[in-house]
Structure 1
Amino acid sequence: MSSKTTSGGHWLPLVVFNSLMIQGGIYVVRPIVSYKALELGADAAMVGIIGATFALAPLIFAIRFGRAVDKGKSGLAMLFGSIILALTSFGLLFVDSIPLLMIAMPLLGIGHLLCMVGGQTMIANRSQSKLYERNFGLFTFYASLGHAFGPLIGGWLADSGEQRVNANAAFTFAIVIFILAAISVLKLSTRRENQPVPEKTSAKITAREVLSVPTFKSAIFVASATTAVVDVLLIFLPLLGRELGIGVTEVGILLAIRSVASMAVRVLLGQITNWLGLRKILIWGASVTLVSMLALALTDNFWVIALIMVVSGFAMGIGQPATMAWVSRISSADSRGLAIAIRLTANRFGQVAMPAVAGLIAVGGVASVFYMLALVQAGSILATARALKSED
């Protein structure tokens, strides 16, 4: 491969810009959907169920998407995903019932999944192994930037004062940035990968074979544990804010703080991994996240919560790009799309189960949700320590 293909080139800025817009739009829509659900009469348990439906349909289709991307269609996946997100956000302008929200959320999940499988597979296939942490760090850095500006601007647009929410203003903003995401990958969608995998070769590789790769199961568990924490925080921080009397704009600021902190670690992830090794950074990140979730459950002060968002955001920023690199490195070139899709399926399973469980737990108080997240991180620490004893 040429250096242009492996180390950067014109394709990488387009992929990371698409990630920026997609994640920004998702982080506009999902917190506002929580507020919309509350206005429509949902309780904490129902908010959790609605949040979980975001991952339900992708959980079913992820493997199929992975196989399609392994045939050289990663650019097309990003384009279709961006269009689905824009159209679904347009539909949300007219949603006025909880059942309709539960239809819209899986569609959003499908669009998001297509963009993520496409973008991550393109990076895995076009990057040298030694550049995985750097390139996935950049990919998730821009995702975190989207996580920051999305809720910040979306929350400001939606804040009508006195905890009233102008949901349609935020949804309109999301439509615009999803359209920009689609435009950014038009060029990438018109060509197949430089070295497409023959269809007959890809078809021989099964999900069971991918799962049998040493340490793969541990990698996807750690990835799903990280995703679950971020996802549940996104859904339930608005409820914690309402319980503590924190307004919509302030909750948006807290989510933005967490995302900016994640950006800080991701832009340096390549250097940090070279220094400490994959095992140490994953264990360190999960340990700090565990302590942060316990602290979040025990405080009611906005400024303390803001400090927790800084610390936990830095720690949470490690898990996703590090496990992307882990999965890409242990997977064969002709099955990376499938491997990435399985990893994202595990993430989506966590996104289905954890918000639903969190919603049931939250009936006894929102703080109890964060104790649950601390327990999940304890499992992540154990899995990493056992799987990566000698890999680094």
Structure 2
Amino acid sequence: METKKVLPILFLVMFLVMVGFGIIIPVLPFLAEKVGGNPTELGLLMAVYSLMQLFFAPMWGRISDRIGRKPVMMIGIAGLALSFFIMAMANSLWVLFVARIVGGILSSANMPTTMAYVADITTPEERGKGMGIIGAATGLGFVFGPAIGGIFSKISLNVPFYIAGISSVITLVLVMILLKESLSLEKRSQHTENKESMWKAFKGPTTIIFILQLIVTLSMAGLEATFAYFAAKKATIDTVQLGYIFMIMGFGGAIVQGGLVGPMTKRFGEGTVIRIGVFVSAIGFVLILFANSFWTSAVFLTIFGLGNGMIRPAISALLTKNSSTGHGSVTGLLSSFDSFGRIIGPPLGGWLFSISIGLPYISGAILSIFALLLYQIYSTQTRKVKQSV
């Protein structure tokens, strides 16, 4: 399978998946309110999706090791489409919850399976580049999706959900027609015979990398949950300007992931890229404290986004290169830790913000330094393991 031909297809698939997901983000709170939901119930509606992903992503990753990537990817995209159409027709809050639960369970197959697909078709040297391209697709999807959702919500609150559903169906057809299976029958049978737990990937020095990803996601989710309030108070930024700021950050992150992560991991290795990414993120957290206008907010948040954008692709490449379990098992477990961070990050960030408006960003910088120390521990332990072999 020629990697140069397949990666653009995977980019398009993940871009469309994330556009569909992004379309509903600005509209879901208003739809929930329309069917009788209050802010607490909206919070639960958002959290239940991540909760389902926390539990089911490792399972789908493991299944993709046994039956192949393509069928599991199709299940994930079909589940996303189904959840969007259910939400489009929802006339009560419990129907929205059903849609989010179904969507969370099934669509949790998408990210780990796509990353496992990339790991299947790339050499260890090109792994970082492949993971970066998927990260860029994800970032750009989140840039364009909310803008599309906001525009079409003016017609009706239901229209964006229908558009997201149709987008997912188109994506499903593209996967059916254009993507070939990346996992050979021989490797599938090997994983089928392997009865070890999916948690085998979570042992030894690699445990530290999963925890590092959790810390990175947690601090980022805390920033995302509080930055609107911080920017409004410190720089009198309104919702439209905030949308532009996140769009600028999204483009910056996508450029780094799609264009820089690959060459950097190839030349310096994943470890160096992870450390650079965490260090730049820490600088971004500190600079955000000094934001006092639209442009300083945009520049400082983008600096954070540039650093943060390097970390996940490099971690994915590192884990898939060093894991003895199937690629799907390790990427599924990584997605689970990502979801855990997204569950606890926003309420933790909100609580810190209530104590002091700068505290989520101070704690983010401190957690970044802790993440650097964690990577140093991982590096030392890995060296000792290699020397003892």
Q: Give CA deviations for 1:200-248 in whole Å, capped at 9, x if unaligned.
A: 6554222343222x43112212223333344444444455566676444
Structure 1 counterpart of 2:270, from 278, 286, 292? 278
Structure 1 counterpart of 2:218, from 209, 212, 228? 228
Structure 2 counterpart of 1:176, from 166, 185, 202? 166
Structure 2 counterpart of 1:51, from 46, 49, 52? 46
- What is the alpha-carbon distance in structure 1 between the residues aligned to residue 107 and residue 31 of structure 2? 20
Q: Residue in 1 aligned with 2:189?
A: 198
State whether structure 2 residue 314 is matched by structure 1 residue 301. no
The one-letter amino acid of 1:79's match is M
State whether structure 2 residue 254 is matched by structure 1 residue 263. yes
Please state whether the residue corresponding to 2:108 is helix, strand or coil: helix
The one-letter amino acid of 1:316's match is N
Structure 2 counterpart of 1:339, from 320, 326, 330? 330
Q: Residue in 1 aligned with 2:387?
A: none
Please state whether the residue corresponding to 2:183 is helix, strand or coil: coil
State whether structure 2 residue 147 is matched by structure 1 residue 152. yes
Please state whether the residue corresponding to 2:27 is helix, strand or coil: helix
Show structure 1 runs of 5+ residues with no match.
none
Q: Residue in 2 aligned with 1:373?
A: 364
Structure 1 counterpart of 2:85, from 90, 100, 106? 90
Change (3 A) 1:42 1:240: farther
Farther-moved stretch of structure 1 (68-77 vs 166-175):
166-175
Structure 2 counterpart of 1:253, from 227, 244, 253? 244
Please state whether the residue corresponding to 2:326 is helix, strand or coil: helix
Q: Residue in 2 aligned with 1:79?
A: 74
Q: Give CA deviations for 1:99-156 in whole Å, capped at 9, x if unaligned.
A: 5554443433334321112211111122211110111111212222212222333344
- What is the alpha-carbon distance in structure 2 between the residues aligned to residue 193 and residue 378 of structure 1? 38
Q: Give CA deviations for 1:68-116 in whole Å, capped at 9, x if unaligned.
A: 1001421112212112112212222344666555444343333432111
Please state whether the residue corresponding to 1:193 is helix, strand or coil: coil
Please state whether the residue corresponding to 2:109 is helix, strand or coil: helix
The one-letter amino acid of 2:168's match is F
- What is the alpha-carbon distance in structure 2 between the residues aligned to residue 49 and residue 354 of structure 1? 14
Contact 1:92/1:171 (8 A) holds in 2: yes
Contact 1:72/1:192 (8 A) holds in 2: no
Matches within 5 A, 1:346-365: 346-364=337-355
Change (3 A) 1:367 1:191: same
TM-score (norm 2): 0.84
- What is the alpha-carbon distance in structure 2 between the residues aligned to residue 282 and residue 23 of structure 1? 24
Change (3 A) 1:21 1:169: same
State whether structure 2 residue 320 is matched by structure 1 residue 328. yes
State whether structure 2 residue 128 is matched by structure 1 residue 133. yes
Matched residues, percent identical? 19
Count of aligned residue pairs for this structure pair: 379
CA-CA distance at 1:347 after TM superposition: 1.2
Show structure 2 runs of 5+ residues with no match.
384-389
Q: Give CA deviations for 1:266-311 in whole Å, capped at 9, x if unaligned.
A: 1221212233332232122112212322333453522221112321
Please state whether the residue corresponding to 1:8 is helix, strand or coil: helix
Change (3 A) 1:60 1:284: same
The one-letter amino acid of 1:335's match is G
CA-CA distance at 1:331 after TM superposition: 1.3
- What is the alpha-carbon distance in structure 1 between the residues aligned to residue 91 and residue 351 of structure 2? 24
CA-CA distance at 1:326 after TM superposition: 0.8
State whether structure 2 residue 14 is matched by structure 1 residue 14. no
Please state whether the residue corresponding to 1:204 is helix, strand or coil: coil
Change (3 A) 1:143 1:324: same
TM-score (norm 1): 0.84
- What is the alpha-carbon distance in structure 2 between the residues aligned to residue 135 and residue 173 of structure 1? 29
Farther-moved stretch of structure 1 (142-151 vs 34-43):
34-43
- What is the alpha-carbon distance in structure 2 between the residues aligned to residue 305 and residue 98 of structure 1? 36
Q: Residue in 2 aligned with 1:185?
A: 175
Contact 2:201/2:330 (8 A) holds in 1: yes
Q: Give CA deviations for 1:40-66 in whole Å, capped at 9, x if unaligned.
A: 6644x7655443222111222223212
- What is the alpha-carbon distance in structure 2 between the residues aligned to residue 172 and residue 55 of structure 1? 22
Root mean square deviation, CA, Å: 3.1
State whether structure 2 residue 62 is matched by structure 1 residue 70. no
Farther-moved stretch of structure 1 (101-110 vs 123-132):
101-110
Change (3 A) 1:99 1:342: same
